[in-house]
Homo-oligomer: A and B are copies of this chain.
């Protein structure tokens, strides 16, 4: 994944690793994908080994340690495009933590579960407000195309909130089937 970020950074211009890190952090790429900066130099070396990028020049700035500036190769560019194609076209199996939580929801007392769901809902709503504000802000500085990930993220959060709301509604109205069994189980087992 970090490799994807590196390649995408090198598309606009050649860079040395530390500069990539700076740029990518500025653009908030570490919100879009899980990035461990400790792996940066390893990843860069690997990309170079597979000839997806190549050293362009080895500069020295004053007395600083020498920096190797990398450029993306044609193979690298092709690989990048293929990679993105797959990420876009193929819905892979995702594993959000919330889903894992839901899959063991039954270990909680229903009363507790609903309270926690309401808590998540509140945080989610806050997040949505914040995200909308941030989007409106960035929307004036950056072309819309570069905000697609954030717009997507926002849409998903809204959907999650809506789903939780509908679940809570069913439970509150008592129309959720098996609710009594669920509650009974937790009140019998101390």
Chain A interface residues (CB < 8 Å from chain B): 1, 4, 8, 11, 29, 31-34, 80-81, 84-108, 112-113, 116-117, 119-120, 123-124, 127, 143-146, 148-149, 151-153, 155-160, 162-163, 167, 176-178, 181-182
Contact = CB atoms under 8 A, between A and B. Distances in A.
Contacts of A84: 101, 104-105, 107-108
B91 A144 contact: no
B103 A176 contact: no
Which DSSP category, helix, strand, loop or mixed, fits chain A's interface?
helix
Contacts of A178: 143-145
A146 B89 contact: no
Contacts of A99: 32-33, 149, 152-153
Contact of A156 (B93, B119, B124, B156): B156
